[in-house]
A and B are shown apart, each in its own frame.
Chain A
């Protein structure tokens, strides 16, 4: 061992990994329909659950699903749960004001869309059971942004937020299974 004390040498070593993904057929159909203003799901022929976005299979029944299982669901839905996020500043954060992050059960779907913006109502007035409808981006501005092969698709490229529809609130027993 050397007697002389020396400072450890610290060096930066940055790694970049690049992935190029293909979207699975179910997500391609979902994205195509969304750009045309329609929301697609897939119905499992065994349990009749409707997955939105479509997964290409039912994980509960272990059944592969194809185009023949595609169904359209509504663009109105019910808020089943929400969080009000007070944004802290970090790299990449674009929000500055508190915003709502809601789970929405679309009419006809068996599960919720998570992380949706709710607009047109003060955050402190948002409530579970509240009825909302999709605010579609103008046809020419819709994109496939957010569609990846890792999740199961996203509506963010075509639906900017959900706003109150004016329909009466839904009683808790109708969405209790979907509170998340």
Chain B
């Protein structure tokens, strides 16, 4: 069955704060109010709300329930939550809008990483028998992936530094970014390893923040927005959990998601990739077949501001922003969950 056209008609995001004293519901409400104002809608117009967050990050059981305060849940609303990046909440809202009985949906995502130590926390998401007892942390996993890439001869440490250098430069234009700067690869390569072969610049600036998107059916979108951004395809695919059972130097799930989302139908001008480590951008570019003519991460990408759980939704916003302002005719947004790009979502956006 061909999908009904759904468009993005508004968005909001907090800055990607290194550390915010605002609570997660406060961050979410800030983003939600901005998105609703941008779309020019009232919250009572919304037919479905879906959010993405992770209770482990803030350390509060059922923290996601309090986040609903940010959507205005009285009188009762129809809503859902995914313990995943907000890009998957957007996917669920997109599916919900296919039913045709409602015409507006709110998607929001949030994460507060600052209260926890992720080297201690993230092993808890791994298989509890073989991986978690090792204390296998995200930095070590990403370093293993980077090492595989180097040993396969698919990239060099200079390639990693070039990704970081370009991202930091692009982030100077992004008021929401956590870090930015003018540093060339030579300067970056002079730094010590954070976790060999990764240096600090290869690791995303983990942040606190929230983001929100308003989705509308095509008819409603044309009433609301001068330049609605249409979702031409959205798909996600997952690979096996055990990193030892995958080829870490490529991403078959990202490639398959892109194929099914229709990436090959027409070339894209811009790609926003949720690469939390610089080697992952190289892997994704290759897996998605993105050539030199595609502008990758004009926002600075996840590397320069990574509000974990909202990072993928922010990629969709950044891609939509370029389509809406006409700087891209067609754009790709990517989101990822799990370790070493285990689970990937690809969303293709176009103007009317």
Contact = CB atoms under 8 A, between A and B. Distances in A.
Interface of A: 13, 15, 17-25, 55-57, 59-62, 64, 149-150
A13 B133 contact: yes
A62 B58 contact: no
Interface in B87-128: 114-117, 120-121, 124, 128
Contacts of B59: 17, 19, 21, 150
Interface string B64-79: 0010011111100000
B60 A150 contact: yes
B33 A149 contact: no
B22 A56 contact: yes
26 contacts: A13-B133, A15-B124, A17-B124, A19-B58, A19-B115, A19-B116, A22-B20, A22-B21, A24-B22, A24-B26, A25-B21, A56-B23, A57-B25, A57-B70, A59-B69, A60-B72, A60-B74, A62-B32, A62-B71, A62-B72, A64-B26, A64-B29, A64-B33, A149-B23, A149-B58, A150-B60
Nearest to A24: B23
Given A57-B25, A62-B29, A150-B59, 8 more contacts: A24-B21, A25-B21, A57-B29, A57-B69, A61-B72, A62-B33, A64-B33, A149-B58
Interface string B6-39: 0000000000000111110110011011000000
B70 A62 contact: yes
B115 A20 contact: yes
A46 to B, nearest CB: 11
Contact of A17 (B26, B72, B116, B133): B116
A134 B62 CA distance: 31
Contacts of B63: 150
B43 interface: yes
B21 to A, nearest CB: 4
A59 B133 contact: no
Contacts of B56: 17
B245 to A, nearest CB: 23
Interface residues of B, number: 33
A150 B32 contact: no
Nearest to B120: A17
| 4 smallest beta-carbon distances between A and B, as pairs | A59-B69, A62-B72, A19-B59, A22-B21
A113 to B, nearest CB: 18
B124 A150 contact: no
Interface string B165-198: 0000000000000000000000000000000000
B73 A59 contact: yes
B43 A62 contact: yes
Interface in B45-63: 56, 58-60, 63
Interface in B189-239: none
A15 B133 CA distance: 10
A23 B74 contact: no
Contacts of B58: 19, 149-150
A62 B60 CA distance: 22
Contacts of B23: 24, 56, 149-150
A59 B73 CA distance: 8
B163 to A, nearest CB: 31
A82 B19 CA distance: 40
Contacts of B29: 57, 62, 64
Given A24-B26, A59-B74, A18 B120 contact: yes
A13 B22 CA distance: 34
Nearest to B28: A57
A62 B67 CA distance: 12
Contacts of A61: 72
Residue with the greatest number of chain A CB neighbours at <10 A, chosen from B70, B114, B115, B116: B115
B183 to A, nearest CB: 30
A19 B117 CA distance: 7
A42 to B, nearest CB: 12
Residue with the greatest number of chain A CB neighbours at <10 A, chosen from B23, B30, B33: B23
Nearest to A60: B74
Interface in B250-302: none
Nearest to A23: B21
B124 to A, nearest CB: 7
A13 to B, nearest CB: 6
A69 B193 CA distance: 49
A22 B19 CA distance: 9
Nearest to A25: B21
Contact of B26 (A13, A15, A56, A150): A56
Contacts of A62: 29, 32-33, 43, 70-72
